[in-house]
Structure 1
Amino acid sequence: MGTASSKKHTKDLSRRNFLKGAAATAAGIASVGLIGCNSAKPQSSKQEAWDTEAEIVIIGLGAAGLAAAIAAKKEGAQSVLCLESAPEEFAGGNTRVSGDMLMIPDDVSSGVTYQTTLNDSYEVPSEYMQAWAEGVCGNMAWLTEELGYDLQPGTAAAPEFPGLPGSDKIKTYYVDGICGFSSLWLPFMDTAAELGVEIMYETRATELIFDTTTKEVFGVLAGDKRIKASKGVIMACGGFENDPDLLQNYFPGIGCPNPFYNGSPYNVGDGIRMAQKIGADLWHMNSIAASAICGRTLSPDSRSAGFLNLSSKDYIYINNEGERFMCEETKSLARHGKLKDKGIWPLLTVPTPSHVIFGSAAFNEKFLFGSIDYMGWSIIAEPGPATNQALVDAGVLVKADTLAELARKIEHNADAITATVDRYNSMVAQGKDEDFGRGESVYDNYFFSAEKASGTSDVTTYSNTKTEVLKAFPLVPIEGPFYAMEVALGLLNTQGGAKRNGESQVLDIDGSVIPRLYSAGEFGSIYAYMYNGGGNISEAVSTGRIAGIGCAKLDPWDA
């Protein structure tokens, strides 16, 4: 992954004519014409004038939105319009900057069994789980046979939780065998352009236009534009990982209210508010997919973060009281930011604020963010500094000759930091970390309880044996000059949103279908607790496909 050959392939991909398609899109939007002008206030009447229209309006241009657009077009929809809040250069949501990996089980039954186990006690109705499994399994034929993409097996997360029931049938795939580099998003854009999908960039949808009595959806309000959807609206608008207010309410990390983000900064929870205004039910709002401990990449004020990886061992993490709060190596055991503790999988606790403190060996050895070069907003969309010295120059990384000076620069208690580093170095000299056992082997079964997962005392179907998950290594002292960087849990995406049924139709709080309204992707995901890597992208493709086909089959409300 991230090889020179894959980068070359990516450059070839990026030269594909989706930009030409975008130009054609602009002409297509112009050809739609302005139906009329009106105030920006949503109206429930079908008779109001519209600024533009399409049979199907899709909010979002990630995998979910593009899959919906492509499927709708292939189902016979004459006009499909995607609304993208970002400018064209930053379009694509989290898919654009993800690993673009698809988790596709070998069979539906195994997929249901495996994901039901991962959801643990956070149950999802069986009919919805069945529909999810059928959808993600159906991605293989749709992507390869219908769209002609070349899916090649991946090695990561295949499966992510081996040993669980159904895990032997869990596989992952990459388009053209390329991990990241927008390897799914780019061909999706090509296909959408070829099919004549229209795109409006820098068009942020904030309201649904609907009948206040029946809730039937007629269109979308975006800025001052009233956009008509004669067949329906598909909400593929992503999550809320970049909205401070929603994070305050739903982010489950107690004492960690300010996580960083690895994905698109344009995911600000617009879909949540639109869903609430129409009376949609919400689910899985506390389900979060994260990476691990991340550092700022662009500036001291930006929440855009990179995947921190110090190859040398002369570093520690300190919390807001200047004390170590974890064995630094256990972060590598996190599964999408969740770390097993007492038999459950809470999000990794990274107090606000926390810092990594390290010495000259770590600074001189490798670039702090050099371990992953194929995904993440700060890699694909908006690259930051590329060397450790450049991080210092940007003010992201702080350097000092003494710990007291370092503490002053990061506005921390000098006595506390000095005492913490001195204690750590003294334990290094003794060869034993008495506080967290760093450097010692770690043994665990690492997965769920076998008996709990299977619901029986018969555990012969998979192993519950503890194994060595971290190998022992010698401790290394922290020596000056000293460096510090603020760190936090990096969010990949949120899973919560409008509750949907197996046909990707949005449900209201009474469980009834809201007419002509669909959702897809991480906005209302099936994942209530844990999930396998590639599951979000695969679900985005399947739910988008299902929503696009279903919406295309509707009769227009203005027929």
Structure 2
Amino acid sequence: MKKDFYTAEHEDLSRRNFLRGSALAAAGLAVTGMAGCSSNPEEPLADAGINGNLPESWDVETDVVVVGLGAAGLSAAIAAKMSGAESVVALEAAPEEDAGGTTRVSGDMLMIPDDVDGAIAYQTELNGPYTVEPELMQAWADGVVGNYEWLTEDLDFVLGDATAARPEFPGITGGEHIKTYYVDGICGMSSLWIPLMEKSDELGVEVAYEARATELIYNYETKEVYGVRTEDGRTFKGRRGVVLACGGFSGNPDMLQDYMASMGCPKPFALGSPYNVGDGVRMAQQIGAQLWHMNSYAASSYNVRAISSDSPTSNIPYPVGIDYILVNGEGERFMYEETRSIQRHGKQKDRGVWPLIPIPSGSHLIMGGQCGANDIFGAITYMTWPVIMEKGYTTNQELIDAGIMFKADTIEELADKLGYPAEKLATTLKKYNDAIDAGEPDEFGRGTEVYASNLFNAAEGTDAIAGDEHGTESLAIEAFPLQKIEGPFYGTEIALGLLNTQGGAKRDGKSQVLDLSDNPIPRLFSAGEFGSIYAYMYNGGGNISEAVSTGRIAGQGAAALEPWDVA
């Protein structure tokens, strides 16, 4: 697969970062010339009597330590340097070729409202009963609205209008103020991450790759944070502060089961970085930080594994044709298959609420000969981990060879390969085909018109609201004739496609991490999806925009502090 986003210029950038990272590793990450770094690694700390888990000496000393290299981490590092921090080190858990978190493989869309009050009204309604303190909503709105000036004037980025989610939920108060953008007008393709990385490199931000942060170094009595320890034992001193921008836990199956089981989706598939394994959550718990929004997520509809038969890393399938059905773990259909088109980030309105769509564990996509003969991947070519990192399969035959998809001449044979009782899957298929032959209505209404509110008409570039400006339902799915499902048959497991998690350490309007009493933990900041403001629903591009704004605020806040080790 061609890596369209990769240019010679970015190849040079990658080479510079690689050489820089290699130099750091070769030197044991004791970076010569870094501000605050002792020329003698055996020199004692400025105050050896400070209580806590301080090391006898530090491997790296710097003004600000940033954990994470997505939009939040890069924004924090850039803002810290632009606010006077002489040195900033960003820790990236992944090797360089996989760096960038979920930002790098996302749609890179920025939701930037043009009015603070409108943004507050809109997001307050999207949060529904999951209330957020007014002062935090105010800070969020100020931050995301302020992104436009920071990106276009301070960083000199060019923002082009996006064609979706302007707003994602028209008809809601304040929605007319919701605008979305892409850097240089490019959807996905790392279009935001690449220029942020270039700006970071230009400003001299140091990056340590394969440096997974697992422990905060801090004063046990005051909780003041002094630095970070990585999984391999290296220590990074943050003289002014530490910013946790390490993403969520979409790559941690245990945490997903703990926090998503109540949502009916204990084992989703992930679209973003597999390096988002919840390290920030563990570090926050270690120091007594308050967690919030742990059950809030952004998702697609249903996904298919794309790398191996045991990896949850996935891609979004788009069957070509209508000779397919979705069946649950018991081999029975459970939904009108095409209604995925009216879902909003994995949620679908049902009796006045927006629950995560029900994709039961052990569900499968069952296709007939027409669908199965056409590759289910390929419609999404500008985002997701397998696409951007070029690590996923792209054809049905590749999926079959990898044991992710199965093909059979009979439905009974396919059932056996998928682990279903043969008679159960055969009965489900016969019921579906017989109803079509008899001209009977589908049990889930498939093939009938579907009307829904809060839709966006991408073809016309307008809100798909029939009649007046607000509140009227519009045609979402036109009526269509059903088609029988006949062999050869194809089947592959599906699960809810998780874009990212929203939960983490609660932070205040200054991006300071809060303890259980809502007091800021000294010198500890956070940014991005790790502790997001989004508690229920959110507008497309909201996570990326919040990552930029909270990263900017965190970096500025950390850089403004006096070093803790001043004699």
Asked if TM exceeds 0.5, the reply is yes
Would the aligned equivalents of 1:16 and 1:190 in 2 still touch at CA under 8 Å?
Answer: no
**How far off is 1:497 after superposition?**
0.3
The aligned counterpart of 1:266 is 275
**How far off is 1:434 after superposition?**
3.3
The aligned counterpart of 1:326 is 335
**How far off is 1:10 after superposition?**
4.9
SS in 1 for 2:513: strand
Corresponding position: 1:407 with 2:403: no
Please show how residues 134-533 of structure 1 align to structure 2 within 5 Å.
134-223=142-231, 224-252=233-261, 254-364=263-373, 366-446=374-454, 463-533=470-540
* Aligned AA (1:343): G
**How far off is 1:392 after superposition?**
1.4
* Aligned AA (1:79): S
Would the aligned equivalents of 1:165 and 1:462 in 2 still touch at CA under 8 Å?
Answer: no
Corresponding position: 1:106 with 2:114: yes
Give me the whole-angstrom Cα distance separating, in 2, the residues matched to 1:12 and 1:292.
Answer: 35
Which piece of structure 1 moves more, 423-432 or 286-295?
Answer: 423-432
SS in 1 for 2:428: helix
* Aligned AA (1:20): R
Give me the whole-angstrom Cα distance separating, in 2, the residues matched to 1:314 and 1:84.
Answer: 44
Would the aligned equivalents of 1:60 and 1:238 in 2 still touch at CA under 8 Å?
Answer: yes
**How far off is 1:13 after superposition?**
5.8
Pick closer, same or farther for the CA change 1:493–1:82 going to 2, 3 Å.
Answer: same
Count of residues paired in the alignment: 539
Give me the whole-angstrom Cα distance separating, in 1, the residues matched to 2:511 and 2:401.
Answer: 48
**How far off is 1:253 after superposition?**
5.3
Would the aligned equivalents of 1:18 and 1:190 in 2 still touch at CA under 8 Å?
Answer: no
The aligned counterpart of 2:70 is 62
Pick closer, same or farther for the CA change 1:418–1:464 going to 2, 3 Å.
Answer: same
SS in 2 for 1:105: coil
Give me the whole-angstrom Cα distance separating, in 1, the residues matched to 2:100 and 2:55.
Answer: 33
* Aligned AA (2:384): G
**How far off is 1:118 after superposition?**
0.7
Q: CA RMSD in A?
A: 2.1
Give me the whole-angstrom Cα distance separating, in 1, the residues matched to 2:246 and 2:468.
Answer: 40
The aligned counterpart of 2:11 is 15
Please show how residues 27-66 of structure 1 align to structure 2 within 5 Å.
27=23, 29=29, 30-31=31-32, 32=34, 35-36=41-42, 44=52, 48-66=56-74
Pick closer, same or farther for the CA change 1:138–1:16 going to 2, 3 Å.
Answer: farther
Corresponding position: 1:555 with 2:556: no
Would the aligned equivalents of 2:20 and 2:207 in 1 still touch at CA under 8 Å?
Answer: no
Question: Could you give the per-residue CA deviations for residues 221-243 of structure 1, whole angstroms, max 9, x where no partner exists?
Answer: 10211211111100001001111
Pick closer, same or farther for the CA change 1:19–1:286 going to 2, 3 Å.
Answer: same
SS in 2 for 1:417: helix
The aligned counterpart of 1:81 is 89
Would the aligned equivalents of 2:171 and 2:454 in 1 still touch at CA under 8 Å?
Answer: no
SS in 2 for 1:56: strand
The aligned counterpart of 1:451 is none
Give me the whole-angstrom Cα distance separating, in 1, the residues matched to 2:176 and 2:517.
Answer: 38
The aligned counterpart of 2:459 is none
Give me the whole-angstrom Cα distance separating, in 2, the residues matched to 1:305 and 1:418.
Answer: 28
Would the aligned equivalents of 1:165 and 1:461 in 2 still touch at CA under 8 Å?
Answer: no
Pick closer, same or farther for the CA change 1:12–1:168 going to 2, 3 Å.
Answer: farther
Give me the whole-angstrom Cα distance separating, in 1, the residues matched to 2:408 and 2:533.
Answer: 48
> Structure 1 vs Structure 2: percent identity of aligned residues?
55
Which piece of structure 1 moves more, 8-17 or 214-223?
Answer: 8-17
Give me the whole-angstrom Cα distance separating, in 2, the residues matched to 1:297 and 1:504.
Answer: 36
**How far off is 1:17 after superposition?**
2.3
Pick closer, same or farther for the CA change 1:161–1:192 going to 2, 3 Å.
Answer: same
SS in 2 for 1:436: coil
* Aligned AA (1:410): L
Give me the whole-angstrom Cα distance separating, in 1, the residues matched to 2:55 and 2:428.
Answer: 69
Which piece of structure 1 moves more, 43-52 or 132-141?
Answer: 43-52
Give me the whole-angstrom Cα distance separating, in 2, the residues matched to 1:68 and 1:525.
Answer: 15
Q: What TM-score do the two structures reach when normalised by structure 2?
A: 0.91
**How far off is 1:47 after superposition?**
7.2
SS in 2 for 1:234: strand
Would the aligned equivalents of 2:68 and 2:244 in 1 still touch at CA under 8 Å?
Answer: yes
The aligned counterpart of 2:463 is none
Question: Could you give the per-residue CA deviations for residues 319-370 of structure 1, whole angstroms, max 9, x where no partner exists?
Answer: 1111001110111211111111111011111111000101110022x32011
* Aligned AA (2:106): S
**How far off is 1:254 after superposition?**
4.4
**How far off is 1:428 after superposition?**
1.8
* Aligned AA (1:233): V
Question: Could you give the per-residue CA deviations for residues 424-462 of structure 1, whole angstroms, max 9, x where no partner exists?
Answer: 011222334431000000123358xxxxxxxxxxxx996
The aligned counterpart of 2:98 is 90
Q: What TM-score do the two structures reach when normalised by structure 1?
A: 0.93
Give me the whole-angstrom Cα distance separating, in 2, the residues matched to 1:477 and 1:407.
Answer: 18
* Aligned AA (1:228): K
The aligned counterpart of 1:539 is 546
SS in 1 for 2:112: strand
